[in-house]
Amino acid sequence: MAKMIKLVSGDGAEFEVEEEVAFQSKIIKDIVADADDVIPLPTVSSKVLIQVIEYCRKHAAVNSFPLSPSSSAAAAASSSSSISYSKPVSDPALRAWDNEFVKLNNSSLFDIVIAANYLDIEELVDLVLETVADRIKGKQAQEIRRQFNIENDFTPEEEEALRRENSWAFQNN
């Protein structure tokens, strides 16, 4: 039976997870080393903790097999051919799962990145921030404001000057 760790969310709910899942968080890994199996996480709500655990569970399963069949095939192929070049190996199925995982509204995403930062789960932080960057790409300033609820604190004169200065940003090249 895998060793279980108990995580307690900010609103008091308890979650028992396998050790390898919880260890996706470097913080938890360090704490447990101190022989503490019950870990209160007062700053993480249940809703967010559930999502984070889901991510960790999926990635723990992948990380325990560092050379998945697809990745080793790609590695072998790139070394034998001198024409094609090796590129970062990423499991496309996991990538697809990640993309589905981050189909959340912005405030949920930020809740997750705050929790992931607190728990030191680097990959999850990167995944969320990458998604945020994707939501910025190709957008003009007004769309970005709308997307992220950012207040426009420029005066009309400043805005006009900015529009001239940065007009090249939204010109079709």
The residues in 9-68 that bind other proteins, with binding defined as CB under 8 A, are: 10-11, 26-27, 30-31, 33-34, 36, 39-45
C-beta closer to other proteins: residue 61 or 79: 79
C-beta closer to other proteins: residue 26 or 95: 26
Q: Which of residues 70-89 bind other proteins (CB under 8 A)?
A: 77-78, 81-85, 87
Under rule CB under 8 A, residue 94 binds other proteins: no
Q: How far is the CB of 63 from other proteins (least distance, A)?
A: 18
C-beta closer to other proteins: residue 102 or 109: 109
- The C-alpha atoms of residue 22 and residue 143 are separated, in whole angstroms, by 38
DSSP 8-state symbol, 173 = -
Task: Name the token pair of 149.
Answer: 């609820």
Under rule CB under 8 A, residue 118 binds other proteins: yes
- The C-alpha atoms of residue 72 and residue 65 are separated, in whole angstroms, by 11
- The C-alpha atoms of residue 136 and residue 138 are separated, in whole angstroms, by 6
Site track 98-117 with other proteins (rule: CB under 8 A), x = hit: --------xx-xx--xx--x
In the chain the first and final C-alpha atoms are separated, in Å, by: 60
Q: How far is the CB of 54 from other proteins (least distance, A)?
A: 19
Q: Which helix (H) or strand (E) segment is 18 a member of?
A: strand 14-18
Task: Name the token pair of 97.
Answer: 């799962």
C-beta closer to other proteins: residue 1 or 35: 35
Q: How far is the CB of 167 from other proteins (least distance, A)?
A: 3
Contacts with other proteins by CB under 8 A: the residue count is 71
| In contact, 98 and 126? CB cutoff 8 Å | no
Q: Which of residues 120-159 bind other proteins (CB under 8 A)?
A: 120, 122, 125-126, 129-130, 132-134, 136-141, 144-145, 148-154, 157-159
- The C-alpha atoms of residue 41 and residue 30 are separated, in whole angstroms, by 14
| In contact, 28 and 40? CB cutoff 8 Å | no
| In contact, 12 and 2? CB cutoff 8 Å | no
